[in-house]
Every structure is written in C-alpha cells, then in structure tokens.
Amino acid sequence: MKTRFVRTAAILLTFWIGGHVHADIVHLRNGKQIECDSAWEEGKEVKYKIGKGIIGMPKSMVTRIEKTATAKKEEPEIPESLQKQGEKSAPLSPEEIALLEKKSRTDAAAKVALSDSYTGKGFEAVQKKDFSAALEFFKKAHKLAPGRKTALNLAEIYFVLQDDWNAEFYFNEVLKQAPNETEALNFLGEIAWRKEDLSEAQSYWRKSYSIHADPVIKEKLDRLNKETTASSEYENTSSRHFLIRYDGGTVDALLVNEISSFLEETYQQLGSRFEAYPSAPFVVVFYPRQQFFRVTDMPYWAGGVNDGKIRLPMKGIETITNDLREVLIHELTHSFVRFKTSENCPVWLQEGLAQISEGKTLGPEEMEALSQLILRKQLPSIKSLGGSFTGANSAVAGILYAQSLSFTEFLMNRYPPYQLNELLENLGKEMDFAEAFQNAYGVSLTEMDSQWRNELGDEE
C-alpha cells in the first residue's frame, strides 16, 4: 500500500510540475456537478472557491474533483483610483527635491510642488506593489498639502494594507471636505460591513448609490438587506479581537462563550509567536440553517462560506470539538502571517506554519513518500512552490502540504524563533523572498533546501 502511494504520488507530481493550474468541477454522488475556480480536500471536507467565496461540504457527498480549464492567477486587489500612473512630469533629482524642501518652509507653491512629487512617487510605488513605500510617500504628500486628494490617497493605501482604523480616519477627513465623495463612502461602507456594523454600512452605501447609481453598490445593498433581515435580532458576543453574532434561540450562549474564549486564547498565543497583533476584529456569524441559505444563496448542502467573515449554519453542536479547534487555529495562523507579511508570503510557508500551529506532524507514509521522491529527483524545489496548491489534485496537494510542513519544521527546529520572525518582517517590507530568506538565515533558500533533503534522506 505504501509503495503504491509513493509511485502514484511521483507520477502525479511529475505531471503537475510540467502542467498548468486548472479550474475544477466537483462531481457529487447525486449526479450533479459544480463548476468552480478551484476545489480541494481539507480535513473531513471538500472545499471549493467561486469568486471570493469559499464553500465547504462533507467528503461523503463528493465522488471526485475534476481539473478542466486554466484558472486565473489571483493578484492583490488594488483600488481603481490607486492604479493610475504617477505625475507626468519628469522625476525630480535629489538636488531638486532638497531645494524644494528648503523652499517649502516659506513658499506655499514649493510645498504644493513637493507634495505633487511625493504623490507621483507614491503612485509609482503602487504600480510596483511596494505598498509600504507608497504609504510613506503619501504621508509626506499629505503633510505638505493636506486636502481631499492627498487624504484620499492615504486612506486607500491604508485600506490596502488592512489598517482599517487609519483608513477610516482619513476617509472621514475626505468627507469633511467633500461630503458627496462616493469613493470614501464606498470604502467606509466596506469597513463598517467588515466590523458587522450593518446599519452604518447600509447608510454609507445608500448615500453613495443616491449620488451615483453604481450596480456594484446596488448588489452590495441587496446582499446587505438579506443579512440585516436575518440577523437584526441576533445577539452579539464581543471580545477584544473577535465579534461573534448568533441566533440566541438556536445557538447555546455557553458554546459561543467557549468558542470566544478559545479564540482569544489562540490570538494571544499566535500574537506572541509572531510578534504581531492585528487590530481589526475577526467576525464569525452563526445562522440557523434556513437563514444561512437565504443570506448566502448557497446550495442546501453547503457547510459554510467565508466571504471576509466566517459564516456557518448550526448543526446541533453542543461543545467545541477538537476538529473545530484545529480549524480555528489553522485559519487564524493564516491571518497572522498575512498581516505580518502584508500578504507577501509564499504558499508553502503559509501552509507549513498553519499546519505546525494546529499540531500536525508527518506520518511514516508521508515521510517515506517525500524520501522516495527526493531519491528519484521528482520533488520540486522549495523555491518553485510559489503558487497555490489548490489547483493540484488531492494526491499531489497532499505531497505539497507534507513538503511544506517538513521544510518549515526543519527551519524551526534548527534555528531560533527570532530568525523566522525576521524573515516574515522582511517580507512585510515587500522584500523579494530570496533576499529576505538570505538576510534572515545567512544562507540561500537553495542551500537550505539541499540541507533539508540531505537530512531527510539520512533519517530514512
């Protein structure tokens, strides 16, 4: 059985390396099919993605996952207004900037010119997806010439960096000067929705739609009306870092408190481990089954959806289970790593850290499979694992998750924790991964990969 597993994994992995990432069709036991962006097995569920939504269902309902057409590669979302090019004027030399800085102390025109120069540099940084640099340029531009334009640029870059508090502050500054600025209203509605302040989100989006009948905002309002109708009477349990909303007639408050306490405990553990403390609250909503389907428009067999909030239909759970604990720890780890790296982290490191956090270890069969693939030179290099694993079938994905876990464990066992955090901090500065890794560990990723392979072979 082990030999057959290893041979199958080797064949599939070779195919995956030379092929393309595919979109998926999920085949159900009742004969129906679901076309989706990607599908994969995770624990006891099959999950699939359509747009920004992630839906889960029991494995028992699925016969197989089929790969079909080429999937689109996901790119970080950048507000449309930040995608414009920088100022058309020629870039200023350091000497010219120094002269403008000197003149700007007494000359209002020089202040505006210097602000425009920094704004242009900020847009150039956005085009390169160097959002940290863009933030610094936009800060300088706003300090020199505070106004609607510079405040809006600053607010939107904070939104991209997931700093909702500062984004909200500067969007409100925009509205003080331009009350009908629809961009600010739309973003403030999104921030309010993230915080589960549905009435405030509705207020912002309604005003925006009355100014400009944007069909995207109309769709948000229609969805919001469903949420409000379903959860207007819901009870809330708020803690420092989480907001849980639930139907008190369906969900036991003691269970909600147990989940909330576990989430806060996990937050503190992960915050200490990664030296990072996200301020935006995580939102979890528990629905009675019928309301869940009305709100989300999901099929009856959907086990949950994640559209920026975790939405779950209740199924008679009376106490927090080990499976639920592992899922919560795994997903919170992803959130912390994304926060610390500004979403500039390769998937293998994300998945390796998330698996370690939930307490997962490699079994003998997985270790044997990795060893055999290394021996046959059919295991891809760590450096090549830059894309998503979800485009691979379950057998190949299993090997990739095992490789990620093993290599990440290798790093954590051989080096002190501060070096891993240094790597994550470097990535948060938009540093190239190879450079970030070299700076943190003093050796190249390729060399470390070779050391890991040699050690794995020696152990076998």
pLDDT for 95 beyond 70: no
**Are residue 279 and residue 220 in the same domain, yes or no?**
no
- With respect to residue 131, please indicate whether it lies within any of the assigned structural domains: yes
With 0-12 / 13-18 / 19 or more C-beta atoms within 10 angstroms meaning exposed / middle / buried, residue 127 is middle
Does one domain contain both 280 and 191?
Answer: no
> Is 164 found in the same domain as 269?
no
What is the widest separation between alpha-carbon atoms in the chain? 80
What average pLDDT does the structure give for the chain?
78
Neighbours of 357 (CB within 10 A): 22
CA distances from 94 to 90, 91, 441 (A): 13, 10, 34
Instruction: Evaluate if residue 110 carries a pLDDT over 50.
Output: yes
Model confidence at 302, pLDDT cuts 50, 70, 90, reads: very low
- Does 170 reside within a domain? yes
Residue 88 lies in a domain: yes
Q: Are 404 and 422 in contact (CB under 8 A)?
A: no
Burial of 90 (0-12, 13-18, 19+ CB in 10 A): exposed
Q: 175 in a domain, yes or no?
A: yes
Indicate if 139 and 279 belong to the same structural domain. Answer: no
For the beta carbon of residue 94, count every other beta carbon within 10 angstroms: 7
> Does residue 67 surpass a pLDDT of 90?
no
3 close to 371: Cβ distance less than 8 angstroms: no
Of the residues 229, 251, 276, the one at which a domain ends:
229
Q: Sign of the C-alpha dihedral, residues 369, 375, 376, 379?
A: positive
d(CA 170, CA 180): 15
**Which are the contacts of 430, defined by CB distance < 8 A and separation ≥ 6?**
129, 130, 131, 132, 133, 342, 344
* Cα–chain center distance at 322: 24
**Residue whose C-alpha is closest to residue 328's, from 238, 401, 265:** 265
Please state, in angstroms and rounded to a whole number, the distance separating the CA atoms of residues 102 and 159. 32
The residue range of the domain holding 291 is: 235-330
Residues 211 and 240 reside in one and the same domain: no
Strand partners, 459: none
State the amino acid at position 52 in one-letter form.
Answer: K
In the beta sheet, which residues pair with residue 39? 48
Last residue of a domain, one of 306, 330, 354: 330
In tens, the pLDDT along 176-235 reads: 999 999 999 999 998 888 888 888 999 999 999 999 999 999 988 988 888 877 777 787
Q: Would you say residue 388 lies in a domain?
A: no
Look at residue 210 in the predicted model and tell me its pLDDT: 95
Query: Would you state the pLDDT for residue 128?
Result: 80
Q: Which residues are within 8 A (CB) of 395 and not within 5 positions of it... i.e. 6 or more apart?
A: 8, 9, 12
Token pair listed for 11: 């064949």
User: Which of 187, 2, 6 has its CA nearest to residue 80?
Assistant: 187
**For the ranges 23-32, 262-271, 273-282, which has the lowest average pLDDT?**
23-32
Considering only residues 431 and 38, tell me which one the structure prediction assigns the higher pLDDT: 431
171, containing H or E segment: helix 164-177
Q: Is the pLDDT of residue 163 over 60?
A: yes
Query: What are the angstrom distances between the C-alpha of 147 and each of 112, 154, 179, 457?
Result: 11, 11, 13, 62
The confidence score (pLDDT) of residue 337 equals 86
Number of structural domains found in the chain: 2
Does 263 lie in the same domain as 214?
A: no
Q: If you average pLDDT over residues 406-426, what whole number do you get? A: 92
Statement to judge: residues 95 and 113 lie in one domain: yes
What is the per-residue DSSP string for 219-238?
HHHHHHHHHHHHHTT-EEEE
86 and 222 inside one domain = yes
The Cα–Cα gap between 280 and 162 comes to 8
Same domain assignment for residues 184 and 254? no
Asked if residue 161 and residue 251 are part of one domain, the reply reads no
Compute the distance between CA of residue 157 and CA of residue 39 in angstroms, rounded to an integer: 32
The answer to whether position 135 is within a domain reads yes
- Asked if the structure places residue 269 within a domain, the reply is yes
What backbone phi and psi angles, to 5 degrees, belong to 92? Answer: -80, 145
∠ Cα 388 73 348 (to 5°): 20
Q: Which of 276, 311, 330 is the last residue of a domain?
A: 330
Is there a domain that residue 453 lies in?
Answer: no
Nearest to 406 by CA among 345, 451, 439: 451
Global pTM value: 0.59
Q: What is the pLDDT of residues 40-58, one digit of tens each?
A: 776 667 766 655 455 666 7
> Residue 259, Cα to own-chain centre: how many angstroms?
22
